[in-house]
A = this chain, B = another copy of it.
Amino acid sequence: MPHNRKRKSAVKITLQDVAREIGVSAITVSRALREPDKVSDDLRNHILGVVNRMGYVPDPHARALASGTSTFIGVLLPSLSHPAISAVLNGIEARIRGTDYRIQYSNSHYDPEEEVRQLRAFAAHNPAGVILAGTERLENLETMANEAGCPVVQTIDCSLKMNGLAVGINHRLAAAAATRHLLAQGYRRIAMLGCGHDIRVRLRQSGYCEVMQQAGLFDEGLIVWQDAPPSIHLGSRLIRRLIEQRPDVDGVLCHSDDLALGVIFESQRLGIRVPDDFGICGFNDLDYATSTEPSLTTVRVPRFDIGYKAADMVITLGQGGIVQQRTTDVGFELMERGTTRRMKKAASA
């Protein structure tokens, strides 16, 4: 006699119920669902029909407990407030749609301690895999990743020699390309605006420094960094400060489009002509980059693809597949737009 257990309102239909209804054993139904080949065609079709009719849904917890694996994918982000980061989640989500995988989401708020704690929490859930979209302390994570007992994919930078799986771009090269573009457009006193602790900032800065040094134009004073999340407001503040200290600055590479947009607004307020007297390059190619006035030159990073491919790795490995490339470079693209489209370039230095 079925009786409501716990606080479940709807009566729960179990594998047993379905099996009894059909007159087979539970394991056969289970197999029909998971290993179709191992059940004869007729029986399988019959079973699938009854499963549907009865509205049976497997209990993921029982499954996880019995099999030692689950269909959870842990996703650890450093923030959600940033569109560039949520785009990765969108990609993950796109890959997962239509499968039984589910996203278990967690936010480290750029806190290394929290990152490790969350990764540990994930591990306790026997996840199918974990995707990391940002991290402060790679060393610890590598150790933990090895102990996690499941694939761990980092999506920070594809050049990072982590002993694991990675999908991303090479941020150093991307920043270098952006800096070269600014130089090619005739800007000389090019600043770099950065923020946050993310490894990416460091990598991009090194790309910028490299190119500026090669050009003989490096000036440490042109590097502005603040420990804060990226925001439009921060961009305005940082550029104002910089212009006070280095009035001759004539271009800027920003760590993110948000900062760049802040710079655009501040330029409007200060009456600085963009791109004629001042060049601006962002990073990420967010939605609004084509809509700003002038439109924003920036580095397109295929965030969505990154998420998609990271999830794909997890799923492939989970199904016993083999991932040929443990490290995938999805590439970046420099989007040359209005904020650096200067007609009369300065005479070459």
- Chain A contact residues, CB within 8 Å of chain B: 5-10, 57-62, 64-65, 67-70, 72, 75, 80-81, 83, 86-87, 89-90, 93, 102-107, 120-121, 123-126, 146-150, 231-233, 236, 261-262, 265, 268-269, 287-288, 290-293
CA A56 to CA B292, docked complex, whole Å: 53
> A125 near B61 (CB under 8 angstroms)?
yes
Residues of chain B with a CB closer than 8 A to A6's CB? 67-69
Q: Return 23 A-B CB contacts under 8 Å, by A number.
A: A6-B68, A7-B69, A8-B126, A8-B149, A9-B148, A57-B120, A57-B124, A59-B124, A59-B126, A61-B61, A61-B65, A61-B126, A72-B104, A80-B80, A81-B83, A81-B87, A81-B287, A93-B107, A102-B106, A102-B125, A105-B105, A236-B291, A269-B293
Residues of chain B with a CB closer than 8 A to A148's CB? 9
CA A278 to CA B103, docked complex, whole Å: 45
Known: A7-B150, A57-B123. 11 other contacts (CB 8 A): A5-B68, A8-B149, A9-B147, A10-B147, A61-B70, A75-B105, A80-B86, A81-B87, A90-B107, A232-B291, A233-B290
Partner of A293 from B5, B72, B150, B268 at Cβ < 8 Å: B268
> A8 near B290 (CB under 8 angstroms)?
no
7 smallest A-B Cβ distances: which pairs?
A: A6-B68, A61-B64, A105-B105, A57-B124, A61-B61, A80-B86, A8-B149
CA A147 to CA B231, docked complex, whole Å: 42
Q: How many copies does the complex hold?
A: 2
Q: Could you tell me the distance in whole angstroms from the C-beta of A15 to the nearest C-beta in chain B?
A: 13
Supposing A9-B147, A89-B80, A147-B9 touch, asked if A291 and B65 sit within 8 A by C-beta, the answer is: no
Residues of chain B with a CB closer than 8 A to A59's CB? 65, 124, 126
Q: Could you tell me the distance in whole angstroms from the C-beta of A220 to the nearest C-beta in chain B?
A: 28
CA A231 to CA B103, docked complex, whole Å: 26
> A9 near B292 (CB under 8 angstroms)?
no
> A265 near B291 (CB under 8 angstroms)?
yes
> A124 near B90 (CB under 8 angstroms)?
no
> A62 near B65 (CB under 8 angstroms)?
yes
> A104 near B103 (CB under 8 angstroms)?
yes
